Homo-oligomer: A and B are copies of this chain.
Amino acid sequence: MRARVFVMLKPSVFDPQGTTVADALHTLGYASVTAVRQGKYFELDIDAKTEDEARRIASEAADKLLANPVIESYRIDIEKTEAAKR
């Protein structure tokens, strides 16, 4: 299975990277882009039998390694892939 983990700064945390990207887009003439938030994205290929098991492993990985729970939140999507059949 493939787990997609999105790690974002919590809404209350200032995101200077996103602000810089938004400013750069305004400079390029894209005034219609009102806000940008930047985050991290991980694709994990997980050798798991069930979707629940894959989600549990991805969630533990996010808690322990991928995200800083003090300032970041994460979301996990599970997708059945060819890789799962290996």
Contact = CB atoms under 8 A, between A and B. Distances in A.
A38 B36 contact: no
A7 B41 CA distance: 8
B37 A43 contact: yes
A35 B42 contact: no
Copies per complex?
2
A24 interface: yes
Interface residues of A, number: 34
A48 B32 contact: yes
A79 interface: no
Contacts of A43: 8, 18, 36-39
Nearest to A48: B32
26 contacts: A7-B41, A8-B43, A18-B43, A21-B65, A24-B65, A28-B64, A28-B65, A30-B57, A32-B47, A32-B48, A32-B57, A33-B45, A33-B46, A34-B46, A34-B83, A35-B44, A36-B42, A36-B44, A36-B45, A37-B42, A38-B40, A38-B41, A38-B42, A38-B43, A39-B43, A40-B40
